[in-house]
Amino acid sequence: KKVLKGIAFPTCLSVNNVICHFSPLNSEADVILGDGDVVKLDLGAHIDGFIAVVAHTLVVGASASNQVTGRKADAILAAHLASEAALRLVKPGHETYEVTETVSKIAEAFECKPVEGMLSHQLEQNRIDGEKTVIQNPSEAQRKEHEKFDFEVNEVYAMDVLISTGEGQGREKDAKVTVYKRTDETYMLKMKTSREFYSKVCKQFGTMPFNIRSMDDERKARMGVVECVTHKLIEPFQVLCEKEGEYVAQFKFTVLLMPNGPMKITGLPFDTQGVKSEHSIQDVEIQNLLKSSANPKANKKKKKAAEKAVGEETAAPVLVES
């Protein structure tokens, strides 16, 4: 059997106040990155429909000797720590709103806000937007509509944390939408260009998100996608932005809920030396959560080491009287 593999989410580079899904076409003008720009890299791949996604935030020109400070640092540290807390909460025995509330508390500690309504999805074979979701910073209406889910063994999640120095409100920008995904809807397309485009999408990308930059004829693809979107055969991933002058940081990782604990399979190491914020987490419960190991093997080793130490302790405890 031939195993299909390839892109599960096209590479997006969203800069500064751009929240997500910025992945310009070859025909568009180049975006030149500048020193100090906050860049979010977001991408995904799959083997046989089993998906792994990742996103990381970098600051152009930053290093241990040229630290990121101020509001940029606030957003980046809040997003990093929120993603670390989420990793420790995504396991059986917990439910999705525990992650939601913890992410909000961490953002608040850095005087930032999670981007409203952003979803982290359960991953299933050939499906990037599975049934269970974790919402961040829901509005009142979203809170009423959005279900609470329990995490269960053998599930897989794409945990996506987006933190803003602004209001956390995503607005659609005038940037062209270039990332799309096929839906389960059916419709008899009228235009030949639309039919050809839809046929290529089904053969080349299946149910995975794609960028029309990947099509052979970009101009034809841009024509063909219009009717497909109008009749909901294809759904767009809108380019969302925060207010000008604000910064958004993102960390996304794929986590497997194994019987012995969560296993993070994507994500880069975070350079704590390169980022310095005046803020920190004061909540003791969250501090303890972040101090706990996210590695199931490490927890086992610690437990064994503790048991060994207790076993070797032969001296009687000393009682101190005041």
C-alpha closest to that of 19 among 51, 49, 43, 42: 42
Backbone angles phi, psi at 126, to 5 degrees: 65, 15
| Distance between CA atoms of residues 70 and 16, nearest Å | 14
| Separation of alpha carbons 308 and 199, rounded Å | 63
Count other Cβ atoms within 10 Å, centred on residue 114: 24
Look-up: residue for tokens 């296993």?
Answer: 263
- What pLDDT does 198 receive? 96
pLDDT (0 to 100) of residue 239: 95
pLDDT digits (tens, 9 = 90+) for 109-164: 999 999 999 999 999 999 999 999 999 999 999 999 999 999 999 999 999 999 99
Q: Report the C-alpha gap between 238 and 177 in whole angstroms.
A: 6
Which pLDDT does position 316 carry in this prediction?
Answer: 40
In whole angstroms, give the CA distance from residue 114 to residue 230. Answer: 31
Ordered alpha helix ranges (H), 159-292: 192-204, 218-230, 284-291
**Which one-letter amino acid corresponds to residue 183?**
T
- Dihedral angle sign, alpha carbons of residues 41, 252, 19, 198: positive
Q: What is the rounded CA–CA span in Å between residue 90 and residue 39?
A: 26
Q: What is the DSSP-derived secondary structure letter of residue 212?
A: G
* Strand partners of residue 44: 9, 53
The total number of residues written for the chain in this structure: 322
**Residue 28: predicted pLDDT:** 87
Distances (CA, A) of 227 to 62, 173, 185, 189, 309: 44, 21, 13, 7, 69
CA–CA gap between residue 158 and residue 181 (Å, rounded):
17
- Full-model pTM: 0.88
pLDDT tens for the chain, residues 1 to 322: 788 899 999 999 999 999 999 999 988 889 999 999 999 999 999 999 999 999 999 999 998 889 999 999 999 999 999 999 999 999 999 999 999 999 999 999 999 999 999 999 999 999 999 999 999 999 999 999 999 999 999 999 999 999 999 999 999 877 789 999 999 999 999 999 999 999 999 999 999 999 999 998 999 999 999 999 999 999 999 999 999 999 999 999 999 999 988 999 999 999 888 899 999 999 999 999 999 988 766 555 555 555 554 444 434 443 344 3
Answer for the pair 99, 122: CB distance below 8 angstroms, yes or no.
no
